[in-house]
Amino acid sequence: MAASTRTFREPSVLPGFGLTFGFTTFFLSVMVLLPLAALVLVAASMHWLDFWHVVASPRALGSYRLSFGASLLAASVNAVFGFIIAWTLTRYDFPGRKMVDALIDMPFALPTAVSGIALTTVFARNGWIGRYLEPLGVHVTYTWIGVTLALTLISMPFTVRAVQPALAEVQRDLEDAAETLGAGRFTVFRRIILPTVLPALLTGFTLSFARAVGEYGSVIFIAGNLPLKTEITPLLIVIHLEEFDYRGAAALGVVMLAISFVMLLAINLLQAWGRGRLLRRRS
Amino acid sequence: MAALPRLFGADAPRPGKHTWRHSLTRWLFIGISLTFLVAVLIAPLLTVFAMALAHGIGVWLHAFSDPDTLAAIRLTLLTAAVVVPLNTIFGLAAAWCIAKFEFRAKSMLITLIDLPLAVSPVVAGLVFVLLFGLNGWFGAWLQEHSISVIFALPGILLATMFVTFPYVARELIPLMQQLGNDEEEAAITLGAGGWLTFFRVTLPKIRWGLVYGVILCNARAMGEFGAVSVVSGHIRGLTNTMPLQIEILYNEYNFVGAFTVASLLTALAALTLLVKSGIDRAGYRRR
Amino acid sequence: MSITLDQVTKHYGGAPVVNDVSLDIGDGEFFVLLGPSGSGKSTLLRAIAGLTGIDHGRISLHGRDVTHVSARKRGVGLVFQNYALFRHMTVAENIEFALRVRRMRARRRRERRAELLRLVALEGMDERMPGQLSGGQQQRVAVARALAHKPEVLLLDEPFGALDAKIREELRRTIRQVQRELGITTVLVTHDQEEAFAMADRIGIMNLGRLLEVGAPHDLYTRPQTRFVATFLGAANLLLARRTADGIQAGAATLPTAERAAGEREHEVVAVVRPEEIELAPQRAQLTSGYLTQGMVDEVTFTGSLERLRVLPQSDSGGTLLADADGEARAMLHVTRSQYEQLGFAVQPGQTVAIGVRRLHVLPTPLSSFTACAADEAGAEALGRQPFLAELAARMKTRIALRVEPLWDSGAPARGADHGFVGITVLAAQPDGARHARWLLDRGATDVLLLPHEARAPQRVLIHWTQPSARAATLAAAASLLRHVAAEAVYLGIQPRRDDGAQPQGMRALLDARAEAQAAHGLDMRTELRVGDAAQELLRRLAEAPGQMLILGIGAAADCDGSLQPLLTGARWPVLLVRR
């Protein structure tokens, strides 16, 4: 037998590696890599001045501002409220807790178009909630607030579901131990709970942000879609497409794709950081 | 103190704990959580049904008699029927390959599988337009052979598949990693072959995770808006799926019609969650 | 033979986890593989089952070479640590799985299932789900399932790990009973020595991927051959004693031993004394056994049937020294006494007692202790702290003494007599290494370790001797060292270049050396035959890769000066010189 230990794959007694690996990579290449490569190549075929003209036009810049600003805001809102919800769900028992816990996943399963029209209706001038905000001078629909609200809804589960297991993992023993050592409640929170949950919270934040930046369906109903004011980047791509300006669409698509990659990279790094911290602590 | 009633499952008060302060923070947290959820999530959900049924159940039922709406429902069902099985097979293959074996580039493969989740649905639709659209790479060739992909069913299928294909795999990979290889190895030492081990040992073991992955994939496939909107062309009665039909009806100020279709999709989402929590509870009993 | 392993080796990421294991297990034997976690015992079991491929070697079951046969076709029954029952199948379906795979008729399956359930005392449990059974019952089902297809061998991987003590004992009895009834060859892996003693016909003890010793439980306990086995199987005190013409001299006691080899010079040995073989008395005169030394009781612990004591021996009484301080500042003798002994002589902490030894067992290892030797005190201390040396001493549970010698003072006459050099004398590898080694050898040192400052634990140990007379001693030293280092052993046989072609002599010597290493020391080593100048060939091999060490047997001290000098001068690799 060859003593080759540096092979592509560790030997295993289970069969089917070739079949499943082949199928997975084939399907992945055809369905994802090839189309994305097409996008990049189309954009690359543009003259760089044309490219720049599209991606740095005032309208594009305005859409970035809204897409990024609202997404950041939505992710921040979710970081705060998502943490509170995760804390409530893991630490407290109250009637209907199980149902609330199940409802958190709703935005995963709910079509974005449905959340879009529903939110618009609820926060419209005469809507259930909108009518109470109107006298306060808060206009939600057709403003950046509505965009943020829609993004908050669709990206909410990411933060809660990222933080929840981390919070559950903070052992009560650890907190009890800290308390017997004389730590107050706030100290326990700041020194024990927060550091443990931080990587998960950041991961949730990034996931929320990544999801929100690309969102289209729910936003277009509530946003009003005024150029420079309430027009998000994905909508701008659609507008280019409707004008049969494929290259312009591709140029903006590449910008969005680059953002996706950066987000994925950040998520992976954050998760590696979280795991690394855990390992270091264990060893 | 001793006479204080115990609130729902609250911990027995610890000595020296200011119990009033403890329950204050507790109810504050619960209050904030519920208020937020009601405003952002529960109120919109209820609106969907309130609007759909605003003029009574008769009008709600009547909305389905619109032939375009029926066509949209048919198209959506057809899309799910094609996309979900394909993505299920892909998910099973990817999970087996990733969870059962150690190989190089594994983490890269996982990242690539996750990629569609991070890509904007509009970009997902765009790439297929660039490939198969009139000015796309294969556009001329497709037109020569009079095959339409964009603004037709194949485009809708492709875009939906792109957006939903990670769901089954993502559900199965952690589950299979957590369950380990012991049972499969036991089956093999007892003389079972690869397919037999898969169907008799692995598949039953992961069946609930698979069910959830499939129904979630199904809900996303039926509800996909952005990607499909880009490739569909919005041809009434032909290339409109349910979410697109919602948009059209809504923009025509036919709110009852829009919310009627929306109520169907919302019910589907609720059913998906119901199955999930059922599985979670069954899962606890099993372990 | 039921199971035959021949030179089985398995690497993980370059490091051997199973290292050259050869073993024969007889028909119907209950064999226990015992070792600490990470010793490679589970990997070896999985290799026998076919769940892990091996890099080198052969595995046969009942004379059939199954090295390349898949787990499916090996016909073994394997019981997993966490049962690995199919959780979605009933007990009946679990047990019948192997029969169904083999397309056995339903009626015969039912009969076989009933038979097996009776065997593991689970009648009537057929339709239960595994989740409804207790841990002990689940493991019984796992045993029944593994036996269903009448495998030729039964393999058990820590089967009691997850069970509590009482159920564990019950299940042990069941498994032993089933095994006797069926007469099936069984291999059980465990880290629990009590379990091994209770169940095994023979035990094989593994550490660092090597199979160190194989034997009946009683033999291994009373006559271990290695430090690891002596200390892993029960508690043991390791003493540094001297073998003299009269017997073994430990402290003030001289005990006759049967196993004394005639004609050997007096030298240091390592002796094992079990805690129960130590006797305590108020005065030396009251001891019924050989007086070792005085000591002070440090701690007394009552454990029910036995009393455990830690006694600090007086250090200046006749040179008796405990080999190992066990990580503590002062080396303590561990003593256990029965109730009866306690009644005869009750002791308190702080009390001074006379210590006697009823029986001791001398380990055959030639490596007893280390003496770090340098020209000044600072040098000796630095050498004693060298990481590889410190690690080796810790693993061997022995100590490092410091000694100052004017190494380069060659003016001092070569006296050739014993200057009290015992064990292995360690020297820093310097440009003058060869001369220093010679100086020490001339003054009676037997084994000299030349240690470069930056040396780390080696991955490969090269073995060579220049004189056939050094063969036995070199092999013994190599075997002893390799029990504490996870490295592969390679014997280099080097033939001087001659013109007459083939050299059958060289090959014979090579095979003889392998056979002797295997038979006398349980050491499996690879062998390579080279032709050329010995020193040049060794140099070339050592220069190939870092992480190598050389064990070199020589005939006389003068050998250092000759052709071997380049090997020892400023060596970048550790060299252990063995002279007998």
B181: closest CA of chain C, how far (Å): 9
Question: Which residue has tokens 């403890």?
Answer: B22
Please check whether residues C347 and C385 belong to one and the same domain.
no
| C265 pLDDT tier (thresholds 50, 70, 90) | low
Given CB atoms, is C72 within the 8 Å cutoff of chain B?
yes
Given CB atoms, is A76 within the 8 Å cutoff of chain B?
no
DSSP letter at C558? Answer: G
Cβ–Cβ < 8 Å for C122, C137: yes
- For chain A, state the CA radius of gyration: 23
| A282 pLDDT tier (thresholds 50, 70, 90) | very low
Chain A residues near residue B48 by CB distance under 8 angstroms:
114, 117-118
DSSP letter at C33? Answer: E
Do the Cβ atoms of A5 and C67 come within 8 Å?
no
Phi-psi region of C237 (alpha: psi -120 to 50; beta: other; left: phi over 0): beta
pLDDT reading at B3 higher than 70:
no
| C318 pLDDT tier (thresholds 50, 70, 90) | very low
List Cβ<8 Å contacts ≥24 apart for B58-61: B59/B256, B60/B256, B60/B260, B60/B263
Would you list the domain boundaries of chain B? Answer: 15-52, 57-286
Distance CA A267, CA A263 (A): 6
Do the Cβ atoms of A13 and C13 come within 8 Å?
no
Cβ–Cβ < 8 Å for B218, B83: no
CB proximity under 8 Å: B 155-214 to C: 182-183, 185-193, 196, 200-201, 204-205, 207
CB proximity under 8 Å: A 12-31 to B: 12-17, 19-21, 23-25, 27-28, 31
Mean pLDDT of C459-477: 87
Higher per-residue pLDDT: C249 or B247: B247
Structure tokens at C47: 């290799």
Taking alpha carbons only, the member of C241, C234, C254, C242 closest to residue C192 is C234
Question: Which residue has tokens 């009691």?
Answer: C160
Given CB atoms, is C51 within the 8 Å cutoff of chain B?
yes
Element (H, E) at A60: helix A58-91
pLDDT tens string B50-95: 999 988 888 888 888 889 999 999 999 999 999 999 999 999 999 9
Do the Cβ atoms of B225 and A113 come within 8 Å?
yes
Residue C482 sits in a domain of what CATH number?
3.40.50.12370
Distance CA B245, CA C303 (A): 81
Please check whether residues C415 and C555 belong to one and the same domain.
yes
- pLDDT, residue B16, reads 60
pLDDT reading at C146 higher than 80:
yes
Alpha carbons within 13 angstroms on the beta-carbon side of residue B77 total 7
- Pairing of β C321-322 and β C253-255: unpaired
Please check whether residues C345 and C395 belong to one and the same domain.
no
Phi-psi region of C397 (alpha: psi -120 to 50; beta: other; left: phi over 0): left
Structure tokens at A3: 């003593």
C147: closest CA of chain B, how far (Å): 9
C11: closest CA of chain B, how far (Å): 15
Do the Cβ atoms of B115 and A260 come within 8 Å?
yes
Chosen domain end from C319, C340, C362: C362
Cβ–Cβ < 8 Å for A256, A54: no
**Would you call A66 helix, strand, or coil by DSSP?**
helix
Q: State whether CATH 3.40.109.10 applies to domain A48-282.
A: no
Q: Which chains touch C (3 or more CB pairs under 8 A)?
A: A, B
A279: closest CA of chain B, how far (Å): 18
Q: Could you count the other beta carbons within 10 Å of the beta carbon of residue B147?
A: 12
Number of domains in chain C: 2
Given CB atoms, is C104 within the 8 Å cutoff of chain B?
no
Give the whole-number percent of chain C exceeding pLDDT 70.
91
Please check whether residues C251 and C279 belong to one and the same domain.
yes
Higher per-residue pLDDT: C434 or A66: A66
Distance CA B75, CA B222 (A): 9
Count contacts between B and C (CB, < 8 Å). 67
Distance CA C153, CA C65 (A): 14
Residue of A14, A118, A237 with shortest CB distance to B47:
A118
Residue in B closest to A105 by C-alpha: B273
| C547 pLDDT tier (thresholds 50, 70, 90) | confident
Chosen domain end from C362, C387, C402: C362
Distance CA C479, CA C211 (A): 12
Cβ–Cβ < 8 Å for C221, C233: yes
Higher per-residue pLDDT: C409 or C250: C250
The residue count for chain A: 283
pLDDT reading at A15 higher than 70:
yes
pLDDT reading at C201 higher than 60:
yes
Q: Could you count the other beta carbons within 10 Å of the beta carbon of residue A163?
A: 28
- pLDDT, residue B284, reads 46
Q: Which ipTM score applies to this complex?
A: 0.86
Q: Which of B83, B97, B165, B232 to mutate to test the interface with A (most CBs of A within 10 A)?
A: B97
- pLDDT, residue C498, reads 67
Distance CA C150, CA C268 (A): 53
Do the Cβ atoms of B182 and C80 come within 8 Å?
yes
Report the sign of the C-alpha dihedral through residues A129, A132, A134, A137, in that order: negative
Residue of C76, C89, C102 with shortest CB distance to B189:
C76
Region of poorest pLDDT, from B63-72, C261-270, C303-312, C552-561: C261-270
Given CB atoms, is C416 within the 8 Å cutoff of chain A?
no
Q: Which residues pair with B36 in a beta bridge?
A: none
- For chain C, state the CA radius of gyration: 27
Chosen domain end from C327, C362, C397: C362
pLDDT mean across residues, chain B: 86
Do the Cβ atoms of A249 and B129 come within 8 Å?
yes
Q: Could you count the other beta carbons within 10 Å of the beta carbon of residue C248?
A: 23
Chain C residues near residue A11 by CB distance under 8 angstroms:
52-53
Residue in C closest to A13 by C-alpha: C51
pLDDT reading at C579 higher than 60:
yes
pLDDT tens string B126-159: 999 988 887 778 888 888 888 888 888 999 999 9
Residue in B closest to A99 by C-alpha: B277
Do the Cβ atoms of A109 and B216 come within 8 Å?
yes
Distance CA A239, CA A248 (A): 10
Residue in C closest to A6 by C-alpha: C13
Region of poorest pLDDT, from A41-55, C37-51, C259-273, C465-479: C259-273
Rounded to 10 deg, the angle between the B106-118 and A246-282 helix axes is 130
Please check whether residues C307 and C420 belong to one and the same domain.
no
Do the Cβ atoms of A5 and C55 come within 8 Å?
yes
pLDDT reading at B286 higher than 50:
no
Please check whether residues C450 and C549 belong to one and the same domain.
yes
Chain C residues near residue B189 by CB distance under 8 angstroms:
49-51, 71-72, 74, 76-78, 146
Structure tokens at A259: 């953002």
Please check whether residues C422 and C566 belong to one and the same domain.
yes
Residue of C13, C51, C67 with shortest CB distance to A5:
C13
Residue C330 sits in a domain of what CATH number?
2.40.50.100
pLDDT reading at C304 higher than 70:
yes
Q: Which of A5, A6, A9 to mutate to test the interface with C (most CBs of C within 10 A)?
A: A5
Would you list the domain boundaries of chain A? Answer: 48-282
Taking alpha carbons only, the member of B85, B110, B77 closest to residue B95 is B110
**Residue-wise DSSP of C92-134:** HHHHHHHHHHTT--HHHHHHHHHHHHHHTT-TT-TT--GGGS-
Distance CA B180, CA B190 (A): 18
Taking alpha carbons only, the member of C424, C466, C482, C426 closest to residue C450 is C426
Do the Cβ atoms of C11 and A13 come within 8 Å?
no
Cβ–Cβ < 8 Å for C334, C237: yes
Q: Which chains touch B (3 or more CB pairs under 8 A)?
A: A, C
Distance CA C255, CA C261 (A): 15
A40: closest CA of chain B, how far (Å): 9
Q: What is the pTM of this model?
A: 0.79
| C260 pLDDT tier (thresholds 50, 70, 90) | low
**Residue C348 belongs to what domain range?**
237-362
What is B57-286's CATH topology? MetI-like fold (1.10.3720)
pLDDT tens string C389-448: 888 888 887 878 888 877 666 555 544 445 567 788 888 888 877 888 888 888 778 888
pLDDT reading at B187 higher than 90:
yes
Do the Cβ atoms of B190 and C145 come within 8 Å?
yes
Cβ–Cβ < 8 Å for C179, C143: no
Do the Cβ atoms of C67 and A11 come within 8 Å?
no
Residue of A17, A35, A221 with shortest CB distance to B131:
A35
Given CB atoms, is B104 within the 8 Å cutoff of chain C?
no
